[in-house]
Every structure is written in C-alpha cells, then in structure tokens.
Amino acid sequence: MTRYLLRRLVELVPTALVIIAASFALVRLAPGSPFSSEKEIPPEIRQQLEAKYGFDRPLPEQFVRYVGNLLRGDLGLSTKYPQRTVNEIIAAGFPVTLSLAAVALVWSLLVGITAGIIGAVRQNTAWDHAAMTTALVGISVPSFVLGPLLVLVVSLRLHLLPPAGWGDWRHLILPGLTLGTIYAASIARLTRGGMLEVIRSDFIRTARAKGLSERLVIWRHMLRGGLLPVVSYLGPAIASMLTGSVVVEKIFNVPGIGPYFVDAAFNRDYFLVMGIVLLYAFFLLLLNLVVDVLYGLLDPRIDYS
Amino acid sequence: MRKLQRGLSETFRTAGRSIVLLMLVAAGGCGDANSPYVGTVRPRHGPNELWINNSSEPEWLDPSRCSDSTGGEIIWNTFEGLVQAHPETLEPLPAIANSWQVSDDGRRYTFFLRPSQWSDGQPLTAHDFVFSFRRLVDPQTASKYASNGFIFTGGAEIARGEASPDSLGVRAVDELTLEVELVDPLPYFLNFLSFYSFMPIPRHLLADLDRRGIDTDLWTRPEHVVCNGPFRMTEWQFRQRMVFAKNPRYWDAASVKLDRVRLAMVESATTALNMYTAGEFDWPGGNTSLPAEFLDHLSGYQDFHQHPYLAVYFYWINTQEPPLDDPLVRRALSLAVDREALVKHVTRGGQIASADLVPTGLAGYEGLGRPVHDPDAARRLLAEAGYPGGKGLPPVTVSFNTSEGHRQVAEALQAMWQQELGIEVELANQEWKVFLANAEQMNFQLCRMGWIGDYADPYTFLELLTSDCGNNHSNWSSPEYDRLLAEANRQADPAARLALLRQAEALALAEQPLIPLYVYTRSQLIKPYVRGIWGNHQDRHPWKYIWIDEAFAAQGGPMPSRRTFAPDILSFTHSTETSRRHPGCVQFPTPLDWHGPAPHPLPSPVARRQEMSP
C-alpha cells in the first residue's frame, strides 16, 4: 500500500509538468493582450505595464521564471486586479468555493443515499418510483434553471433567504442546494443500482442465513457494496462541484473562484488563469488518488500490495 | 473611457435572463402584483445608510491609475478635485478650488484653493495637486489614462519619456494657489477637470508607506487610505463589498447626509435586479445595467427612470478594404439603415437614433442633423458606385464581440442591407480580446464599437477620426480634418470653435469612415425613499447629495411623481465664459430634482459668491 502510494505520488510530477507547460502555451497562444481595451494606451505606457509583469521578455525565459516562482509558491500578479497577487485572490476565493462545495456535498450525500436506499429496499414500489422520478428530474434540471427558481420562490415570494450575496450561513443555503441537487440525483440512482447489484448476491444471502437483522444486513453489507459506485463517482463529483460552481457562483454572486475560470481567460489574466488551472488540476489528481485508495479500503477484492 | 463591453460570460447571463424572464411571466411581475414599485419599498437599514451595487471589483482606486467606471464611482465619492460637477447639469462648481482666474488666451488657469484637510488631518495644499498631475503622466506610473494629462503643457512629452515630470505645466505658486498651463485653450477644461484622473493624491501618505517599507501601490486599501472627499472607505472585502463612512474632515461635511454607504459587487444584471427587488439594494447604481429584456416590463413602474447618456454606438468601416474603399458604397450603407426602427424594435431601451457622430445639442453644438434613413438615396449612391441593386458587390463581413445585444443589432443591419441594397452580409462574432486585437490590426471590414464621452464636448467624439488617434479604426485620415480640429482647439471664441468642429464633422461624415447608429440611454431603478439622485448624461450621481426620505420609508408614501426626460438633457453649455468674467462664479439653471427634493439647498451661485469672499 505504501509503495503504491509512493509510486502514484511520483507519477504526479510529470503529469503536473505537462499541465503547466500545456496551459502556459495555450494561454499565451490566445490572441489579444491583458492590457488591450477599446481605448488605446500610449505605447510607452504599454511597455511599462508589460515590463512590470515581465511580458517583455522572450517566452521561454518567462516560462522558466514562472516555474521558478511556482516552486517558491509564488503564482504571480494578476493583471485584472493589479493590487492583488494570484495567491491572495485564490486565498480569498477558494475557501468560499470550498464551503459552497461542502454544503452541496453534504446535501447531495444526505438526500442521494437516503433516496437510493429507499429505492433499493422498496424496489418497484411507489416509494421507489417516487424517489427515482424525483432523481430523474433532479438530473435533468440544470443549475441555471433551479437557481433562479429557488430565488423566486424562497427569496422573492416567501422572503426567507437573501437572493444573492455572501456573508453568513443564510447565503450558503440556496447556492448549496442548487449546486448539490444534480449530484444528489446521480448519487440516488448510483446507490440504488449498486445496492440492487449486491442485494441478491451470495454474501447477502449468507448474512441473512446467519440470522442477522435486516437493518444490519442493509447497513453493514448491502450499503458497503452499494456505495462502491458512489465512491468512484465522488472523486470527479467533488472536483466538478468545485469547477462547476461557475454558474452557481454567478447566479448567487458568490465571491468564490469559479467565475475566474471563464473571466480570467477572457481577460487574458495570464497568471490568474494559470493559478486557477493548476489549483484545479492539483485537486483533480489528488481526488483521483483518494478515490483509488478508498476503493482498496471498501472493496476487499482490490488489493494494492 | 468606460468599458462598454462588460461581463464577458454572456452565455450564462443570457441563459439566466431567459429563465428569469419566464419566471417573471409566471409570477406576474416583481413582488406584489398591484404595487407601482418593483419589490419592497421599505429600507432594510437605518435612516442614514445607502445600499448600492458597483457591478464589479474595480481595477484601481488610485486616481492616477484608474481607467474604469467602477473605480471612478468610488474615487468620485472619496476624493474631491479642484472643481466638482453639478449633480444635474454637470457644470463645474467650486470644490477644493474656491475660485479661479483664466488668462485672456484661455490657456492659463490660476486656482485659489480653500484651506482644507486630508482625512488624517494633514493640510491639503496645491503641492498635492502638482504631485498628482505629474504622477498621472509619469511613465513610471504606467497609467492607462495618462493621456488625460496631455492637456497640460509637457504632458505628452513626459509620458513618452522625453522630458522629466517636473517640466509639466502645473505649478504651486504658494500653499493654496495652483497655476495650470494648457496646450490649447480648451473650453471644456473645467468640465473635464472634475474627472477622477485629476483628484489630489496624499503624497505624505505615499512617502510614509515607502518609509515603512509597505508597497505604495496598496495605499488605497482601507487600512492605509487617506482621502479628502465626502466618504472614506472603512472595509474592503475583495469582490464582495466595500463599506464607506462619512468623512468628518471633508470641507463640505455639513452637506453630507448619509453616514454609511454599503457597496456590493454584483456582476450579473439579473442577480442585481433580484437583490433590488428584495431590498438588498436601494439603487443598483450607475454601473449596473438592467437586463435589456426587462426594460419594457420595468418601464411601467414608478421607480424606473431613464435618461440619455453621453455615448454613441457606431460601426467602424475599414476604408482601405474594397469594396468599402469607395465612399459612395459607405454612404449607401449608412443611408440604408433604418435607425428609428433599430432603436424601437431591436435595442428597445429608449435610445436616440442618430446618423451623426456628435449627439445634437451637446454643449451648445448644433448637430449636422443628417437623415437617419433614406433608402432611395442609398440605392442611387450604390448604383453610382457601379453596383446597381447590389450586383457585382462582393459579400461584406460585419464583426462584433460576442453578446446578444450586439448580435441583434448586427442581424438587423444585415437584413436592412440585404433588403434595401441587395448586399450580402456575413456576420462574425468574436470573443472580446480577439475582437480588440482584430480591430487594432485593422483585420475587419465593418466592426461595431461604442464610445463614451469623457467630457461634455464634441471633441471627445471628433478626436476619434484624427489621423494620429490610436482609437481611429477606420484607416481614414484627412489632413484637412486634422487641421480643422487643431484650429478649433486654438480658437478662444467658443462659437467660432463649435463652427469649426461642425465643419470638420461634416467633412468626415461626407466620406463616411464610420456609421453612427444611436445615442445611448441609461435605465435605472431607484427605491422611492431614496432622494437626491439626478439624471445626467454622464451618469454621475454623487453620494453626497443622496438622502433617505424617512417619511416615505415609514409609511410607504406619498409617492413622488416621476419625471421623464426629453433628449434635450444633453444640451447644456460650457460656462468658461461666465467664469472668465466672474472668476469662480458659474451660472446654471435652478436645479430641478429628478428624484425628490434635496434636503439642503444645492450649491447656488449666490451662496458661493458669499462663501468665496476672501
């Protein structure tokens, strides 16, 4: 297990290098400049601006410099927010996105697993159909529909929660629900499917034959097997909750880092784009690793040694 | 120049908008069905507070470096320059300068400053202005708006690195006397001087930060900032909110009614509208636009206001590229556009159709009044150019930056040109930075553009077509045009100057290097309990005049009647003449309030004169 972990960690290094090089090249290949606007800037001033960020140097030199700074943990300066470093911007926004994803995750697991269990245990009953129909609707309704609908009903009609903004727990609920629902729906279907797969397997029959109570059979044996597909789904799901929060963060004006994905690229805010891409790449790689390790713990058939 | 193109993730916005539109229809309107207002009409905060939106995180709050309207909004309310703009007419009023004198040739101004303080109690002197103006053009500052300082003698040379910043034509005669030398006798100088680039800079603070080893770029952060305007920033949560408190050391603090202003940064127009409906905003603010699809619906409410805006929407023509190198073809294109139909059915925001580059009536300018639609003349011109009925004319490509609004305009033009002239038009939408790069490299045939006037004078638009203007994307240049503009700016007599400018505009538009389409409008929602906001064509609404009507807030009435605006709001004249005769004394009409009466008398000439006696 330790050897496996080490090997995986070593493999991360070339992957990361490829990501850095590729995103650096792509960002710089895009036409346009971070300093262009519809009003012309005098060429002398433009040179000063470019010199400040080092854009006046040859590209290979800039790349080497960037990687050097990266190793020291310095992600560079933003061109769109010239008084902020990319480190500062991420430090301000990432906890926000994380807390939003946390609410969404808790919500999706709570609702999804509960609905999935009900569906599996009461298979082909009204309970099952109700849960799965709801899940189908949940998967089909995109967040840019669900979000405004929640705002309309909860905020503008019932006056229960603020329509947008950030500050206290009340601002977390609507965006959290909006972001989490689509995953809750997927988790419900996956849990149900996973449990149905094991429900008729030999070890469940054995467990029942041993005289275990139905509750213990469900919780200890069926759920453990049934959750395997959910676990493998959770890695990419968490990653996409973090990256997919772009739309939700726009609708609810949440000051997370989601919108930078789009805006920083549009603004040609080179270092900010790079910083965000690298952050997400890091999380994706990390979550994949965690999922693989969790698999080994959950499924006795998988053995990494 | 404010960014005309804001919010680039148009996809999300459009999707969000259509959904909210559906919801509005389903819900039968915003808030209570029978209310004449959009959403709640009771403030969610105390009596001396204001909650507004500023749309997005500003780039700079440093007056020398700021180049966008979101930063400008904050600078205007936390700093005060030599003159301030009247909240309705925008005429220059005395501010830190008590009075001023103008030399006979109109190129030398002497400002007499009132004794005043920075927010930390340090005295504000003429040296702070000298420091600020030099810093604006100093290449070390790398200001995108350095060109604003080119009106001072030596400004352009300093920015090019050819002269030292000390050589700028700005001098402190003594602690409270400032002398300014201009390149040309610009009649709009005093109006322009209220622009945010010309605010004083607390050089003592910058020196102090430098001494303490703190990055001086961070001087506008609330933990450091020292200012001299009505409000001072006390909190800045990156991309969330800013909070401002009244500055007790502001020279006119007695006129400031609000104690606290909370500013949010909500980019999405629909989200801002939701927050206004729920009472999270008293006024979405000058930098927030209303979702275009809602304008029809919202215009029926009492708290909806609309006014013309000093900005022109037009299409650049690349005049070197055949077949558009022929002025006849270009003029035919312009005449074939039905601008009235365009503003009525496509843009639908009350815009003013205009075939001229300079809005009629601007600062006393008599517009050309060219026809906004004449398809017969257009067909004749096209035939004259050798393409009767559009035969033999290769397809023409129209570029615009990705946005639903720009696409709709482009599609309308496509249909009009196809129908009236038989010209085949292709549309090319491009992402903003790609679009800008193509415009800069003249890699287009026709491309859309908008231009917001920086000051109330025809020159702010006419400058676009001069040969050495970096913003001229037409490849058109005329020595005669350049000469007329230069001569106009040397002209000390305002009437003669305007006549020269008009002659220049006529000369340029006869060759049609661009196709003007309409003058912008701004649409706003303002809660009925908010008073002291006036509609003006530069969309500048100083917080210092704003107050909360507690009587309305408490009982939900009486309703203030709504004022609609005629396009003639653009017509006001410069007061250089009056101020020249009576230094420091400007004349302007009795202020009419747009949104309820002011709780205190607005600055009037008489009051000023008494105050101004030494």
**pLDDT at B119 (0 to 100):** 97
CA dihedral sign, ordered B66, B71, B77, B83:
positive
Asked if B440 lies within 8 A of A36 by C-beta distance, the reply is yes
Give me the mean pLDDT over the B48-71 stretch.
Answer: 93
Give me the mean pLDDT over the A1-17 stretch.
Answer: 86
**pLDDT at A237 (0 to 100):** 87
Residues in chain B: 614
pLDDT in tens, B232-258: 999 999 989 999 999 999 999 999 999
B35 in reach of chain A (CB within 8 A): no
- When pLDDT is cut at 50, 70 and 90, the band that residue B19 belongs to is low
Question: What residues of B are in contact with residue A262 (Cβ under 8 Å)?
Answer: 8-9, 12
Give me the mean pLDDT over the B200-206 stretch.
Answer: 97
| Contact between residue B358 and residue B462 where contact means Cβ atoms under 8 Å apart | yes
Residue bearing the bigger pLDDT, B563 or B310: B310
* pLDDT at residue B563 greater than cutoff 50: no
CA A172 to chain centre: 16
Write the single-letter amino acid at B159: A
Nearest Cα of chain B lies from the Cα of A135 at a distance, in angstroms, of 22
How many CA atoms within 13 Å lie on the side-chain side of A120?
27
Across B8-22, B97-111, B121-135, the highest mean pLDDT is recorded for B121-135
**How much of chain B is in helix, strand and coil states, percent to nearest 5?**
35, 20, 45
Residues in chain A: 305
Q: Residue A88: exposed, middle, or buried by beta-carbon count in 10 A (0-12, 13-18, 19+)?
A: middle
What is the rounded average pLDDT for all residues in chain A? 88
| Contact between residue B174 and residue B126 where contact means Cβ atoms under 8 Å apart | yes
Q: Which of A82, A93, A251 minimises the CB distance to B60?
A: A82
Please state, in angstroms and rounded to a whole number, the distance separating the CA atoms of residues B494 and B488. 9
Asked if A266 lies within 8 A of B8 by C-beta distance, the reply is yes
Please state, in angstroms and rounded to a whole number, the distance separating the CA atoms of residues A101 and A84. 25
* pLDDT at residue A146 greater than cutoff 80: yes
Asked if A164 lies within 8 A of B271 by C-beta distance, the reply is yes
DSSP, collapsed to helix, strand or coil, labels residue B107 as coil
Q: Which of B20, B142, B275 minimises the CB distance to A49?
A: B142
CA dihedral (B545, B548, B552, B556) in degrees, to 10, reads: 130
Strands B177-181 and B108-113: antiparallel
**pLDDT at B2 (0 to 100):** 38
Q: Which of A157, A164, A262 minimises the CB distance to B275?
A: A164
Please state, in angstroms and rounded to a whole number, the distance separating the CA atoms of residues A93 and A264. 14
Asked if B433 lies within 8 A of A166 by C-beta distance, the reply is no
| Contact between residue B41 and residue B556 where contact means Cβ atoms under 8 Å apart | yes
DSSP, collapsed to helix, strand or coil, labels residue A36 as coil
User: Model pTM?
Assistant: 0.86
**pLDDT at B525 (0 to 100):** 92
Question: What residues of A are in contact with residue B137 (Cβ under 8 Å)?
Answer: none
* pLDDT at residue B460 greater than cutoff 60: yes
- When pLDDT is cut at 50, 70 and 90, the band that residue B275 belongs to is very high
Cβ atoms < 10 Å from Cβ of A129? 12
* pLDDT at residue B565 greater than cutoff 70: no
Q: Residue B285: exposed, middle, or buried by beta-carbon count in 10 A (0-12, 13-18, 19+)?
A: buried
* pLDDT at residue B588 greater than cutoff 50: no
DSSP, collapsed to helix, strand or coil, labels residue A218 as helix
Q: Chain B 259-278, CB below 8 Å of chain A: which residues?
A: 264-268, 270-271, 274-275, 277-278
Q: Which of B13, B268, B436 minimises the CB distance to A253?
A: B268
Give me the mean pLDDT over the B434-454 stretch.
Answer: 91
List Cβ neighbours of B528 (8 Å cut-off, separation of 6 or more).
B37, B41, B302, B303, B549, B552, B559, B560
Asked if B239 lies within 8 A of A93 by C-beta distance, the reply is yes
* pLDDT at residue B595 greater than cutoff 70: no
Mutate to test the interface with A, among B1, B3, B9, B273 (most CBs of A within 10 A): B9
**How much of chain A is in helix, strand and coil states, percent to nearest 5?**
75, 0, 25
- When pLDDT is cut at 50, 70 and 90, the band that residue B14 belongs to is very low
Residue bearing the bigger pLDDT, A220 or B148: B148
Which token pair is B132? 């600020």
* pLDDT at residue A287 greater than cutoff 80: yes
**Nearest residue of B to residue A247, measured between CA atoms:** B12
Asked if B271 lies within 8 A of A37 by C-beta distance, the reply is no
Please state, in angstroms and rounded to a whole number, the distance separating the CA atoms of residues B301 and B30. 10
pLDDT in tens, A11-42: 888 998 999 999 999 999 888 888 888 778 88
Percent of chain A whose pLDDT exceeds 70: 99
B311 in reach of chain A (CB within 8 A): no
Which token pair is B363? 């600062």
Give me the mean pLDDT over the B15-21 stretch.
Answer: 50
List Cβ neighbours of B225 (8 Å cut-off, separation of 6 or more).
B61, B78, B119, B205, B219, B232, B233
Question: What residues of B are in contact with residue A35 (Cβ under 8 Å)?
Answer: 144
Please state, in angstroms and rounded to a whole number, the distance separating the CA atoms of residues B533 and B305. 11
Which token pair is A25? 């090249």
pLDDT in tens, B463-520: 999 998 888 999 999 999 999 999 998 888 888 999 999 999 999 999 999 999 999 9
Least confident of B3-17, B180-194, B419-433, B484-498: B3-17
Residue bearing the bigger pLDDT, B402 or B80: B80
A91 in reach of chain B (CB within 8 A): no
Question: What residues of A are in contact with residue B157 (Cβ under 8 Å)?
Answer: none
DSSP B517-572: EEEEEEEEE--TTEE-----TT----GGG-EE-HHHHHHS-PPPPP----GGGG--
* pLDDT at residue B11 greater than cutoff 80: no
Nearest Cα of chain A lies from the Cα of B195 at a distance, in angstroms, of 16
Give me the mean pLDDT over the A89-97 stretch.
Answer: 92
B237 in reach of chain A (CB within 8 A): yes
Mutate to test the interface with B, among A28, A37, A78, A146 (most CBs of B within 10 A): A37
Q: Chain B 141-160, CB below 8 Å of chain A: which residues?
A: 142-144, 146-147, 159-160
Question: What residues of A are in contact with residue B434 (Cβ under 8 Å)?
Answer: 30-32
**Nearest residue of A to residue B39, measured between CA atoms:** A156
**Nearest residue of A to residue B150, measured between CA atoms:** A42
Question: What residues of B are in contact with residue A94 (Cβ under 8 Å)?
Answer: none
- When pLDDT is cut at 50, 70 and 90, the band that residue B181 belongs to is very high
Which token pair is B435? 């679009």
Asked if A83 lies within 8 A of B431 by C-beta distance, the reply is no
Cβ atoms < 10 Å from Cβ of B345? 11
Residue in this structure with the two tokens 């994307």, named with its chain if needed:
B473
| Contact between residue B535 and residue B51 where contact means Cβ atoms under 8 Å apart | no
Question: What residues of B are in contact with residue A148 (Cβ under 8 Å)?
Answer: 16, 19-20, 23, 270
- When pLDDT is cut at 50, 70 and 90, the band that residue B561 belongs to is very low
What is the rounded average pLDDT for all residues in chain B? 84
**Nearest residue of B to residue A91, measured between CA atoms:** B238
Give me the mean pLDDT over the A64-93 stretch.
Answer: 92
